[in-house]
Structure 1
Amino acid sequence: MSITSGIGLVSGIDTVSLIEQLLAIDSQAKVPIYQRISSLTAAKTALMDVNARMLSLGNSARSFRIDDVFRSVLASSSNEEILGATASTRANPGQYTFRVKQLVSTSQKMSGGFVSSGESPLGLDSLSLEWGNGRVPANINLDDLNGGEGVDRGSIRIKDQAGNESVIDLSEATSLQEVIGLINDDDNVQVVASFSTDSIKIVDESGGIGAFSVVNEGGSTTATDLGIEGLASGAFLQGEPINALAPSSLLSSLNDGNGVFIRDAGITDFVLRVNGTDWPIDLGRQDSPISVDSLLEDLNDGDGITINDDSASPDFTVVSSTGVEVDIDLGVILDDEGEVDREAVTTVGELLQRANGTLTDEFGAGQVVLQINAEGTGFELVDSMGGGAEPQIIGAGPNGDDTAGDLGLLQTGTGGTISGSIIPNKVEVARASTIRDLMTRVQEQTEGAVTVSIAADGDGIDFSAGGDPVAILAGTIDGAGLGGDVQTIRDLGLTEGDEAATLSGRRVSSGLGTVLLRSLQGGSGLGGSSLTVTDRDGDSVTIGNLDQLETLEELVVVIGSAMTGSNVDVSIRLNEEGNGMKVTDQSGGTGNLQVSGDAAAGLGIANIDLAGDEQMGENLQIQYVSLASSLSDLNYGRGIGTGKFKITNGDGQSQTIDIGSDSKTLYDVMREINAIATGVRASLNENGDGLIIEDTSPGAFPIKVESVSGSTARDLGILGEASEAGGSIDGSYEKVIDLDPADSLEDVVGKINDSGFAVSASVLNTGSGGTPYRLVMSSDISGAAGDLVVDTFGVDLGLSTLTEARNAKVFIGEGDSRLLIESESNTVEDVIAGLTLDLRSASSGPVTVNVTRDEAGIVESVEGFVTAFNDVIDRINTYDTYDSETETRGPLLGDPTVSRVRSEMYRALQQSAVGIETSYRYLSQVGIKVTTDGKIELDKAKFNAAYESDPEAVENLFAAFEQQGSSTTEISEGVTVNETSTTYTVLGFGDIFEQLAERMTNSIDGTMTLADRQFETLLEAQDDRISRIDERLEAKRVRLQREFVAMEESLARLQSQQSSLGSLNQNIAIAGSLLG
């Protein structure tokens, strides 16, 4: 029998309703529990609200120091249309004067006209492009003259032979070309100025017979610095050399900017021998030796040692000679309860202790040991196990090879020892950068036996030993296969093995507007000594001994003089682009113009034999990339980024090359490639304009370079694959676009734009004349670094410069002492620390920038702190309250946690700053006081007066911070442990309240965090009580249901029995009637 319908079939009782009513009575026991849950939830929510307000207070307090609030400044420009300025907290208040000389401009080239843009073939087989290099320099900065001492900004006075005088203001000139132009453009005197390899010359064309002179004007030394001060000899004034070397001359500027090759890490660059004594000379950077006290963060040029954050993962693995692998974990070590047992290592000593402790546990003491090498330049691992294999260190953990690589130990040992690579530490002595540094290093390292001086002609460098013969010998062979042992000697203008009482080097100073002959053809030089020229009229001359000359200008002058003397009517000079020679016949003859000789190829004019008057020479391939090239200067001035790339040789063997911040020069990159990559050789390419990667393996596949991370391979120009097996990948910065002679103007534009190179091309339609269509090429690199050099391989497109590539130039200061700043962008950063200039227009007058403390911002930050403090107090007061009229209790009434928070806040507010010795130590001294309602307020007048009186003291009051870190304790002989404890010796109120907020809100053990957990525990307990009551009610429901079912069943049986008795009585009655 069932009662699921809710109504008893026999009793007619609504059992479901009756059961629910009975259970509802028992459920009343849950009401106070739900009330308790509601109360606890409200309290928990209120506490978290206070917690959030406390976090906000901590953030507000933290900002005083972290955001350098008291050093925030404002920059205002007197003319925003010319120059805008913004300042960071590093900028010092003051007034600065600027004058914008010129904005940055981008190089644009334009061709001659064509009849059609889509039909006329241009006849180009190919087009080569270079940016900022590859031509004879056309612009000489005045600041580079006189050994880098520059030229005084002022005026000169010129008097010509006719008695005319003029004062020429050169104070705004920034280049030698501008000086020449200003002199020649002056209408008051009849003179013509020009410059040659080392000096300026001025010719008087007035026709007078008086004295011709140039003097300084207005107290300046401008004429003297330009080498033209004095009285001329007749109508000709030959200036003094202004391009001579000086002790201050940068080594990087020598050899046409290719510099002097120097190796770091204690490698001998060359050896000087005097009287049988060899003196090794090291010009490189000298690092502090690595010791147990060295900080890991100082290694690898400040990049440190990679340590993973996963406490369960190792950082590298040592494989012993017996084949046993041992994981080394340098990070945080946790105990069995998950608490920090040991912090991550931070010093070399801690690293060795951690690693050797693990190795000792596995192999026993002294069997496998990691240690600093004898030179203090890196690490080594010594395996004394005597196994059959060599020890090895491999990568492990989430960072893979990084940690072992950072330690220089990612390798297999030899003879039981892994000798790690050199690890740069903190710089003790910077690498030599000037000739003065070279002089000092040689004097110190030879103990005064050898002296370096500048040659008498100012072009080279001399070595002498007090009259004794001095020899220069090769330096250390470093295994890079790049000739580094003799390259420094060559760059100093000498040859390995030279010996003399005075070793006089070749010219290393680049001339004015010319290049050294040995820079031609990628650094191979002229390659010959003679040149034969025959004009179309049949006159011929052979010029010899050209290999004795040193600059291209000297060579052009000698050739020109020889041809004039032999009546050969031909000119050989630089083409308009400055990247090749141009041969022009002016004889009027009908024969062939011919050029030959072993020097012709070096000049790009070999095998000329044509029935024409003009021939463009091939690219001179002036070297501008060398072993000494700084990575920051390559890639068209944009630098080489750090990163990894993978080289796969023809045999399919792959190695990953990791270029970090410790790589400073192109040599560093090539050395790393040659040391790691198998069957591969990196070197300078033939044109001296980039890196080349050659496949030396016997493999059948083309070598390829793939990027792993960063942009390093792309920046080096080596990303890609060789065209054939056994080939190479040339990272030349000269880019060649393949064309077809039948290509029209539109075809050429399309191929240029599709090349992916840093150039954009378009067709210009002038709309006039019979040839209105022109090719326009624009560099995608702004400033002088993007100066386009275009080579059409002899096809005359009539190219001209539409827009000259120029850097932005701005003067700082006023008068003759002002400084010139150049930038490849119109945004100039940190010329003055923390100040960024936005150059918007050139100006003839000065613009003043005022940098002032942002006092309004400082007050606003202090007010923000006051507001955040009051917000916490207001919330606490709201929640910890009782309304007697409504008898309403706040959710945190009497709560000890918020009471403690409030007490701690007032205690912090009223204490003094920690360790402050300046004039203000209490917040009340600067206008922060407690009001009658328990909140605080800022008296702005008092604060401003305090700040005006002593801004440093106010800053210290809020933002001062000093701490002492962990210490090492010896717990038994030879066993030390790190005790991580921090003591704050100086604390301003910003950090006092930030630390207070941290103690209150820390997610692990903060006061409010613990209280929140207690609330959570209480809520869980109430939920458990509800669950237990529900379980009892459910059990009672089941029992009642069973009882009602039993009752119905009993009633049903009774009803059945009653029915049976009724039937029996009826039957008896029937029987009686029948019998009666």
Structure 2
Amino acid sequence: MGSLFSGVGLVSGLDINSIIDGLLRIEARPRDLLQSRIGKIDAQRTAFLEISARVSALLGRISAVSTASAFRSTRATSSNASVLNATTADGAQPGAYQFVVRGLATTHQLVSSGVRDANAPLGAGTFSLESALARVNRVARLDELNGYTGVQRGSFQIEDASGTTADISLADAVTLDDVVSRINSAGVNVRAEVRNEALVLTERSGGVVRVRELDGGRSAADLGLAGSATGTLAGRTLARLQERSPLSGLNDGRGVRRAQAGGDFRITNSAGSQFNVDLSGLLVDSTRLERLNAGRGVEGGEIRITNRRGDVTTIDLSAARTIGEVQRAIDSAGAGVSVVLNAGRLIVTDTTGSTTGTLKIEDVSGNAARDLGILGNPDSGRIDGRTILTVDTLGDVIRAVNFAAGNDGAVTASLDPADPTRVTLRDASDGTTGRVLLERIGDSQALADLGLRAGDHDSDNPITGARITGGVNTTLLGSLNGGRGIALGTLRVTGASSAVEVDLRGAATLEEALSRINTATESIGVRASIATGGTRLQLTNVDGSAGAISAEDVSGQFAAITGLNSSAVGGVVRGANLQRQYINENTLLSTLNAGRGVSSGRFRITDSAGAVASVDIPASARTLGDVIRAINAGANGAKARINDTGDGLLLEDSAGGTGTLRVEESGGATARDLNLLGPATGSRIDGSFELTITAGAADTLDSIVRRINERSSIAQATLLNDGSGINPFRLSIASRQSGAAGELIIDGGALGLDFSTLSRANDARVLVGAGADGGGGVLVTSGTNTLSNVVNGVTLTLSGVSQDPVTVTVDRNLDTVTAALKGFVTDYNDVVKRIKELSAFNQQTSQSGPLLGDSTIQIAQSRLNRLVTGAVGGTGALTRLSQVGIRLGEGGALTFDEARFKQAYEANPEQVSSFFTAADTGAAAKLKKELEAITQDGGLFKRREKALDTQKTQLTERIESLNGLLARRRQRLERQYRAMEQAISGLQAQQTALGSISAVSAPTRR
């Protein structure tokens, strides 16, 4: 029989569902109470999350005042922003700084003569462009004179024969030409010029010229001028070396090419004593102490070592002569430390295994620990000593020879006292061989770069090297021809009617060679000079005759190398590019490509046999020498060296294959930056930084512009239209680098283009600390108009020139700190206010907040109150926030008195900074710790949230259990009602049946 049950009893007519639902609602009241409790728990959790977020915002405010840099923040204001503006960074110190801007950095820009049509063929010819570093008459800077020790920037006085005087200030002079110009425009009857690498003053009337120092300075003396003379006062030479002269300045700035390790050259004296000279700057066992600290050596004595375990050991280093003896003395003393030689320094490491104490090294007597660079008491167990061995100056080289291992005074190196542009070696032994042998070691070029010839020196004592200091407004002959120099001999110069011969042997500089030529050729009306552009020589017929002039070599190669071995009728013999070398193995990668440098990365070299080598130029690569070594380490037939013109790299193929040498990038731009990208011409890729464009018959001004921009890394070209009716189109070329370093040399004569200067290549010149007259200031130059860290932490931006000082005032900028403290107060009050709202009881509505009576929020409220009223940090006079302006005001609201805070800061900036920022005891650290104890994992709120989660889980489980009971109760009631319906149905059926029986049995009436 099927079920008769439905929502309404079919038999009884009762609304059974409603009856069951009503019964179950009564039985579900315990479950509903539990659900109500879960709702309250959810409200509590939401409230705690909200308060936790607000407290976390307080942590952000605290972080803003937790570092000392926040309290060191500064701002700069300029008294004349139209001339100079300033910004500050970390490290700037408050104060007032004066600057006089004497010149702005400008970019070299040139413009060509005009042509009628930019797209009309120019005709065949060549165009060349390169850095002015190729110039052979580059003007000497004052800081390069006297062996790069420079000239004092003071003042001196010149008096002419009439008694007229002029004060010459060098305050903002940059070059020797600046000095000459100032003297010649000073209003005295004296002419200044540079002659034979010296400053020469000539009294025009032939009288006495006098020079006096001013203000106790030595400016005149540094310029080689002193005293007085009748007619002409010739200063001493300004081209001389000193032991302080940097190696990087030798050989016209090409420096000294040294080995990275293993020694540079070997000396064998006449007694057979042999020793190696190492210029690497690496400490080795045999390094003599006399070489350390730029020749100051080590003041011997006792040192005391306290290791991390607390053991104290005293070591006597008085008898040590070498760094190896120092190392062994310390290692064998049982001090619980080890000593390692690392490049030019010592590293001392604690070996006790203790991690609690500190390693300490101190001097007991003498200054050995200080001079060895290991004096100190670091927190760790290791002392990384300072660098104590360098080979940066000529004095370092001299000491490397004189104190080389195995040289006990047998050979002495020094500057030549008679000509301090050269190095000498003196053999002090009484040997019988009568010769000194100099040999280079490996690939080192140091011997040659020091002017010393490798080989036997049979009768030379002392051995005097070649000149190695660059010239004053001139160039060493050894720098020409790509750095290979010129073989000198006898030059024959022919004038219009006669010829003379000039002995050039022994000349060291180009000026010296020209001086000899002009002395000899004066009688034949011919003059040798440097052509416009500064890269060529020329012979000029100066007597006005119509005859031919010419030059040729009788011996040597001067005419051939300089390109003067030709003739001209009544005019000028123009020589070839002298190819002054300005790039070599020592060239810094950062100086290439107009100062943009060379990007690190990889490139592939495929030689003619198809062998491929991948070359990696890491970020640590500093020089072209590093690049050459990386290329030459490749496993194929391509090798690199400096090219023959001394202005880039040369890649040569020696594989002998039939393919083409090729260089390709491996995802970077390194090969392009080195000018090596692409296929070879023949078996070579010449990475010259001189751009030479050979124009074809169809080339136009517009195509020349495109070719320059495609190939030049130092200049950019544009096409100008000056609007004139005739020949309006011009080629404008601008350097990619501002300042003097960006000066260009352009030769477009073969294309019929003459260039004039629109903007010179000038460095910015700023006198720091100078008064209105420029006196007392320090000159700073820059290739850009943005100068960083002239004053520590201050960046200057120049926009104008003024003779009046501009004052930059740097003061503390507390805006960030005060904003953070104001924000802290606001956020704190918001937290407290919200806690009160969530914990309140509304008597009118009888509604309570979700956190009413919650002990956790009461604890948090109490902690927050103690944070701002109790001692929070500091070890000095400041221990409470109220002392720096943060206190409770009316109604319990926190307030911030900014004036009081600034007053406390101005009274003692370091104390206020320390109060907030001290690592363990500072207010920021304490506040952070307390706030994190409320909000972070394991903190007060997290524990409460976890407890609420547990309660909710338990209640949810109980509700699920009750729901199960209710479901089963519903099923039971439904069964009972079905049974009732069935019973009623059965009764009705019985009743119907009984009624039927009764009807049958009743009598029938008629």
Question: What is the TM-score normalised by the length of structure 1?
Answer: 0.73
Residue 749 (str. 1) matches residue 683 (str. 2)? no
Partner residue, 1:659: 618
Residue 146 (str. 1) matches residue 146 (str. 2)? yes
Distance between the aligned counterparts of 1:680 and 1:228, measured in 2?
54
Could you list the runs of 5+ residues in structure 1 that have no partner in the other structure?
290-371, 379-423, 478-482, 962-985
Residue 226 (str. 1) matches residue 160 (str. 2)? no
- Asked if the contact 1:69/1:861 (under 8 Å) is kept, the reply is no
1:664 is displaced (CA, Å) by 3.3
SS of aligned partner of 1:232: strand
- Asked if the contact 2:266/2:274 (under 8 Å) is kept, the reply is yes
1:835 is displaced (CA, Å) by 0.9
Comparing 757-766 and 599-608, the one that deviates more: 599-608
Residues 282-334 of structure 1: CA deviation (Å, up to 9, x unaligned): 33344799xxxxxxxxxxxxxxxxxxxxxxxxxxxxxxxxxxxxxxxxxxxxx
Residue 269 (str. 1) matches residue 229 (str. 2)? no
Partner residue, 1:459: 421
Report the CA distance shift for 1:11/1:553 in structure 2 as closer, same or farther (over 3 A).
farther
Comparing 250-259 and 25-34, the one that deviates more: 25-34
Partner residue, 2:783: 824
Aligned alpha-carbon RMSD (Å) = 4.3
Distance between the aligned counterparts of 1:219 and 1:173, measured in 2?
19
Distance between the aligned counterparts of 2:284 and 2:408, measured in 1?
24
Distance between the aligned counterparts of 1:171 and 1:533, measured in 2?
45
The one of 485, 494, 500 equivalent to 1:525 is 485
Q: Percent of aligned positions with the same letter in both sequences? A: 34
Residues 689-717 of structure 1: CA deviation (Å, up to 9, x unaligned): 233444555664643242456x6555444
The one of 458, 474, 491 equivalent to 1:514 is 474
Matches within 5 A, 1:395-474: 428-429=387-388, 431-445=390-404, 449=409, 451-455=412-416, 456-464=418-426, 466=428, 473-474=438-439
Residues 701-750 of structure 1: CA deviation (Å, up to 9, x unaligned): 643242456x65554444x33347x8454443333445334323233223
The one of 800, 818, 830 equivalent to 1:841 is 800
Partner residue, 1:183: 183
Partner residue, 1:96: 97
Residue 575 (str. 1) matches residue 574 (str. 2)? no
Distance between the aligned counterparts of 1:913 and 1:497, measured in 2?
78
Match for 1:268: what amino acid?
G
Partner residue, 1:256: 252
Match for 1:721: what amino acid?
G
Distance between the aligned counterparts of 1:770 and 1:526, measured in 2?
47
The one of 209, 212, 222 equivalent to 1:212 is 209
Residues 334-384 of structure 1: CA deviation (Å, up to 9, x unaligned): xxxxxxxxxxxxxxxxxxxxxxxxxxxxxxxxxxxxxx9997789xxxxxx
Residues 400-444 of structure 1: CA deviation (Å, up to 9, x unaligned): xxxxxxxxxxxxxxxxxxxxxxxx987533532222333444444
Distance between the aligned counterparts of 1:1040 and 1:721, measured in 2?
94
- Asked if the contact 1:54/1:872 (under 8 Å) is kept, the reply is yes
Distance between the aligned counterparts of 2:852 and 2:741, measured in 1?
71
- Asked if the contact 2:171/2:777 (under 8 Å) is kept, the reply is no
- Asked if the contact 2:267/2:437 (under 8 Å) is kept, the reply is yes
- Asked if the contact 1:681/1:693 (under 8 Å) is kept, the reply is yes
Match for 2:585: what amino acid?
L
SS of aligned partner of 1:68: helix
Residue 61 (str. 1) matches residue 62 (str. 2)? yes
Distance between the aligned counterparts of 1:180 and 1:885, measured in 2?
97
Residue 551 (str. 1) matches residue 552 (str. 2)? no
1:550 is displaced (CA, Å) by 1.5
Match for 1:659: what amino acid?
P
1:540 is displaced (CA, Å) by 4.3
Report the CA distance shift for 1:959/1:36 in structure 2 as closer, same or farther (over 3 A).
same
Match for 2:813: what amino acid?
D
Distance between the aligned counterparts of 1:1005 and 1:646, measured in 2?
57
Partner residue, 2:849: 890
1:106 is displaced (CA, Å) by 0.5
- Asked if the contact 2:583/2:646 (under 8 Å) is kept, the reply is yes
Matches within 5 A, 1:454-853: 454-455=415-416, 456-464=418-426, 466=428, 473-474=438-439, 477=442, 483-484=443-444, 487-497=445-455, 499=457, 500-527=460-487, 529-534=489-494, 537=496, 539-546=498-505, 548-565=506-523, 567=524, 569-585=525-541, 594-597=550-553, 599-600=557-558, 603-605=561-563, 608=566, 613-614=571-572, 616-645=574-603, 651-655=610-614, 657-661=616-620, 663-675=621-633, 678-697=636-655, 700=659, 702-708=661-667, 712-718=670-676, 720-723=677-680, 727-737=683-693, 739-755=695-711, 757-768=713-724, 770-792=726-748, 794-814=750-770, 816-853=775-812
Report the CA distance shift for 1:633/1:780 in structure 2 as closer, same or farther (over 3 A).
closer
- Asked if the contact 2:246/2:394 (under 8 Å) is kept, the reply is yes
Match for 2:221: what amino acid?
T
Distance between the aligned counterparts of 1:543 and 1:999, measured in 2?
93
Report the CA distance shift for 1:947/1:13 in structure 2 as closer, same or farther (over 3 A).
same
Report the CA distance shift for 1:458/1:937 in structure 2 as closer, same or farther (over 3 A).
same
Residues 466-514 of structure 1: CA deviation (Å, up to 9, x unaligned): 577895745653xxxxx22xx1122211123465533322111111111
Could you list the runs of 5+ residues in structure 2 that have no partner in the other structure?
286-337, 345-382
SS of aligned partner of 1:178: helix
1:834 is displaced (CA, Å) by 0.7
Match for 1:744: what amino acid?
T
Partner residue, 1:992: 926
- Asked if the contact 2:147/2:469 (under 8 Å) is kept, the reply is no
Report the CA distance shift for 1:824/1:881 in structure 2 as closer, same or farther (over 3 A).
farther
Match for 2:911: what amino acid?
A
Report the CA distance shift for 1:118/1:713 in structure 2 as closer, same or farther (over 3 A).
closer
Partner residue, 2:288: none
Match for 1:270: what amino acid?
F
- Asked if the contact 2:649/2:688 (under 8 Å) is kept, the reply is yes
Comparing 783-792 and 731-740, the one that deviates more: 731-740
Residues 581-618 of structure 1: CA deviation (Å, up to 9, x unaligned): 33444576777665444525764416635668345433
Residues 1009-1030 of structure 1: CA deviation (Å, up to 9, x unaligned): 4544554454455555555666
Distance between the aligned counterparts of 1:735 and 1:4, measured in 2?
104
SS of aligned partner of 1:849: strand
Comparing 441-450 and 551-560, the one that deviates more: 441-450
Distance between the aligned counterparts of 2:948 and 2:614, measured in 1?
58
1:114 is displaced (CA, Å) by 2.7
- Asked if the contact 1:897/1:1007 (under 8 Å) is kept, the reply is yes
Match for 1:110: what amino acid?
V
SS of aligned partner of 1:753: helix
Distance between the aligned counterparts of 1:628 and 1:558, measured in 2?
33
Report the CA distance shift for 1:848/1:698 in structure 2 as closer, same or farther (over 3 A).
same
Report the CA distance shift for 1:489/1:498 in structure 2 as closer, same or farther (over 3 A).
farther
Report the CA distance shift for 1:829/1:585 in structure 2 as closer, same or farther (over 3 A).
same
1:172 is displaced (CA, Å) by 3.4
- Asked if the contact 2:835/2:857 (under 8 Å) is kept, the reply is yes
SS of aligned partner of 1:146: helix
SS of aligned partner of 1:58: helix
Distance between the aligned counterparts of 1:746 and 1:777, measured in 2?
13
- Asked if the contact 2:172/2:779 (under 8 Å) is kept, the reply is no
